[in-house]
Amino acid sequence: MKDKRILYVSSEVVPYLAENEVSLMSYDVPKMINDQGGQIRIFMPRYGNINERRHQLHEVIRLSGMNLVVNDLDMPLIIKVASIPKERIQVYFIDNDEYFKRKATFADEEGALYPDNDERAIFFAKGVVETVKKLNWVPDIIHVHGWLAAMLPIYMKHYYKNEALFNDTKIITSVYGQSFDENLDMEMINKVKFDGVPHESISDLETPNYENILKASILHSDGVVIASPNVSPSLTKFIESSGKPFLPFATKDAFAEAYTNFYRTFGL
């Protein structure tokens, strides 16, 4: 993996958020590639429950300042950056006061999903791509973790399809166990269609539940990783029948070799 460029886009990463399947794997896999001499970047949202002082986040003025349009509204993009201690791994944080200032990740203190989670996912996807464009950093692979990051493959294949920077970039989506039971805003599909994405490409978003959001992401990816032993049988069957190259679940002691070999199948 030496000098190969891999962009990790995740909804959660340790040590900035609590440990779970997504946040741990979003740290372990980049660290593994970093240790092999690969060039990596990690992007995640800057939720309000991330302690900026403790983790030494600071705004990158030259990357901040642009507005992203979400559902016909201009939303300012703020980029912050930090380094994971001892690992020399840079993490970029996508921030916006309207979407990410609240003091939790996906749900309020009663456990109800935030009603604008769909817009937050769209903003996050656009924010990542626009920032990578400004960095002029061409990834060989973009590896997506967590449902809030699941719009990125869709936007890469449609909204950003003519960006020459990403002509040779492959997209891999990791699929984890179901993390919420409700639907996101039922207008989500129309908000994505507003950006020129054809209805037939995202028909799964007519009912924007966890499984359908992941299905839409898988359909727009070049490869899939089953990253949890708890992926539902129906979603597992969908992955197996999708025609996409996929990596079955690998245990903690076997994932390094499995992931490295899977990356190599995409020409790395």
Q: Considering the domain boundaries, does residue 89 fall inside one?
A: yes
Q: Considering the domain boundaries, does residue 152 fall inside one?
A: yes
Angle between helical axes of 233-240 and 210-219 (0-180°, round to 10): 10
Confidence at residue 63, expressed as pLDDT on a 0 to 100 scale: 87
Confidence at residue 253, expressed as pLDDT on a 0 to 100 scale: 87
* C-alpha span between 17 and 134 (Å, rounded): 27
Structure tokens at 86: 């001892």
Cα atoms in the 13 Å half-sphere on the side-chain side of 93? 29
Tens digit of pLDDT for each residue in 236-264?
A: 999 999 999 999 999 988 999 999 999 99
Instruction: Give the residue-averaged pLDDT of 9-23.
Output: 95
Which domain covers residue 182, as residue numbers? 3-263
Tens digit of pLDDT for each residue in 46-91?
A: 999 998 899 999 999 888 889 999 988 999 999 999 999 888 899 9
Q: Considering the domain boundaries, does residue 110 fall inside one?
A: yes
Counted residue by residue, the chain has a size of 268
The answer to whether 65 and 31 are in contact (CB under 8 A) is no
Tens digit of pLDDT for each residue in 34-45?
A: 999 999 999 999
Q: What is the CATH number of the domain that holds 77?
A: 3.40.50.2000
Tens digit of pLDDT for each residue in 178-227?
A: 889 999 999 999 999 999 999 999 999 999 999 999 999 999 999 999 99
Q: Considering the domain boundaries, does residue 37 fall inside one?
A: yes
Q: Considering the domain boundaries, does residue 247 fall inside one?
A: yes
Residue from 137, 128, 117 nearest 159 by CA: 128
Q: Considering the domain boundaries, does residue 268 fall inside one?
A: no
> Parallel, antiparallel, or unpaired: how do β-strands 39-45 and 5-10 relate?
parallel
Q: Is 180 exposed, middle or buried (0-12, 13-18, 19+ CB in 10 A)?
A: middle
Q: Considering the domain boundaries, does residue 235 fall inside one?
A: yes
CB burial readout 82-108, b (16+ within 10 A) else e = bebeeeebebbbbbbeebbeeeebbee
* C-alpha span between 33 and 256 (Å, rounded): 9
How many structural domains comprise the chain? 1
Instruction: Give the residue-averaged pLDDT of 112-121.
Output: 96
pTM of the model: 0.96
Q: Considering the domain boundaries, does residue 148 fall inside one?
A: yes
